Amino acid sequence: MTKPIVAIPADIRSFDGATWHAVQHQYLRAALNASGVMAFIIPAFEESYDTDAILDRVDGLLVSGSASNVHPSLYGAEANDKDGPFDPARDATSLPLIRRAIDRAIPLLAICRGIQELNVALGGSLASEIQEQPGIWDHRRPEGIDRDGMYAIRQTVHVKEGSCIAGILGPGEIRVNSLHRQAIARTAPRLQVEAVAEDGTVEAVSVIDAKAFAVGVQWHPEYWAETDKSSNQLFAAFGDAVRAYAAAKLPVSPAAVDRVTAQRRRATRPAGR
């Protein structure tokens, strides 16, 4: 059986004077090995984008984390130096894909920057440098250690009973690896808060009126998706939703293709022949 395919919007990166469309390896690996799906990297362009042309060809949307942040102008705020770095092409690609995937009931999993894009796409706002706010912990990644140490599972979040994620991970406390300096400020009207950190920071949401799996998490389940139980369960649930969507698509038979081809030939045949 052919594996279903998920789209992953790319970041814009510059290496050796050239511009690259890139996605971190761990997201692609988690999609393949924990969700059991294939992934297509979607290039990031600021214009001339056909969102439906992309979504017509995939069975899910995985919106990854990134070193860049959503531009504040997209949620009605002024940008300052602390809010960056920015990636306008990523914004212009991801936000329309998120909105359209929800409209079309295409399964969606949004991670880190992805949950922030999901919130902004549906009308919410973000808070910058949250560690400077009274009562909020420092959620930034620790410095001076290797990547495994940086992404170590060290924080506790509380999953709300009756939530979508509780149906996957169970309600109550779980341990996660949440690394960020921005977070949801005003939750979009169409989002339900699913999990919070001990300081009240929003760590997971779901789309209230979604007709398919549509979840965002602030932590990084992709990093330990093959070894950590909760991370694996989240990606496995996304994979199940993607396979269900792919299976529900109406197959196009060879006979149907032949009929359409014949109709097109008749329509373009010169008169009198």
Query: Residue 241 CB: number of other CB atoms within 10 A?
Result: 22
Taking every pair of C-alpha atoms in the chain, what is the biggest distance, in angstroms? 81
Rg of the chain on CA atoms, in Å: 20
Type and span of the H or E element at 8: strand 5-9
Token pair of 41 as six digits = 């990297």
H/E stretch holding 234 reads helix 229-248
Residue tagged active-site, from 117, 194, 203, 222: 222
Q: What backbone torsions phi and psi does residue 172 show, to the nearest 5 degrees?
A: 100, -160
Q: Which of 25, 46, 112, 129 is catalytic?
A: 112
Burial of 221 (0-12, 13-18, 19+ CB in 10 A): buried
Q: Using alpha carbons only, give the angle 45, 60, 64 rounded to the nearest 5 degrees.
A: 55
Q: Identify the active-site residue in 71, 139, 180, 220.
A: 220
What span, in angstroms and rounded, lies between the C-alpha atoms of 111 and 64? 5
Structure token pair of residue 223: 């990093």
Q: In 104-253, which residue ranges form alpha helices assigned H by DSSP? A: 113-121, 147-150, 166-169, 229-248
Is 112 an annotated catalytic residue? yes
Q: Work out the end-to-end distance of the chain between its first and last CA atoms, rounded to an integer number of angstroms.
A: 44
* 194 given a catalytic annotation: no
Half-sphere exposure of 266 (CA within 13 A, CB side): 6
Q: What residues are annotated to the active site?
A: 112, 220, 222
